[in-house]
Amino acid sequence: MPHWLDLMLQSLGPLLWAGLVFTVPLTLLSFALGLTLGFLTALARLYGPRPLAGLARFYVWIIRGTPLLVQLFVIFYGLPSVGILLDAFPAALIGFTLNVGAYSSEIVRAVIASIPKGQWEASYSIGMSWSQALRRTVLPQAARTAVPPLSNTFISLVKDTSLAAAVTVPELFQAAQRIVAVTYEPLIIYIEAALIYLALSSVLSALQDRLEKRLARSSGLVEAAA
């Protein structure tokens, strides 16, 4: 067996374990929390009072205008200077959540704003309140439009979690770094890590395509029925 193949097979278990225990949970938790934060931020910018809308706009401006790696460093290495100490995983989770929240808020804000005003008026005409119109009429339509960009955000987040290695989270990429430190084979191990990320992204892209096709079919059926 070639040396490179033997090394990749020996390294595969630790890399997959690190991905399963740290990369996947970090991705799922960050996306779920970030999407919730993004939704609330979008509502604040669209319908909140001016001070709240300004605060939401400022948050999005800061996060979108600074590198994610710098944000992680500020949270993990900077906050201890003011007495706030966080373990590596919670620090990374906060950083990724804030980042996803800012970017997803722009997506959510755009798709909600794209819904014609007539949909709101039609909802009000049958006695719905604002919250009912948002929940029953606007959000279901906006969700179909938001799926592709939000799916892209999720896939990008899977790859971005490799930055958590910089704040000592023992996820997939840091596991690769540790193996390299022992084997002195950076080319082989880093290519293997890249292939794992590529496999994850490819599976998620395929699932995204299937979801988009299903939503397109259901949307077509609704329009035909209308």
Helix, strand or coil, per DSSP, at residue 226: coil
Predicted pLDDT at 219: 61
Percent of the chain with pLDDT over 90: 77
Question: How many other C-beta atoms can be found within 10 angstroms of the C-beta atom of residue 101?
Answer: 24
Low-confidence ranges of the chain (pLDDT < 70): 218-226
State the amino acid at position 92 in one-letter form. A
Every domain of the chain and the residues it spans: 3-218
CATH 1.10.3720.10 is the classification of domain 3-218: yes
In the chain, what is the greatest distance between 2 CA atoms, to the nearest angstrom? 73
**pLDDT digits 0-9 by tens, 25-47:** 999 999 999 999 999 999 999 99
Q: How far apart are CA 68 and CA 3, in angstroms?
A: 37
pTM score, whole prediction = 0.91
CB 168 within 8 A of CB 174: yes
Q: Can you tell me which residue has the tokens 């259901």?
A: 218
Predicted pLDDT at 214: 84
E strands in the chain: none
Q: How many residues does the chain have?
A: 226
**pLDDT digits 0-9 by tens, 95-109:** 999 999 999 999 999
CB 202 within 8 A of CB 196: no
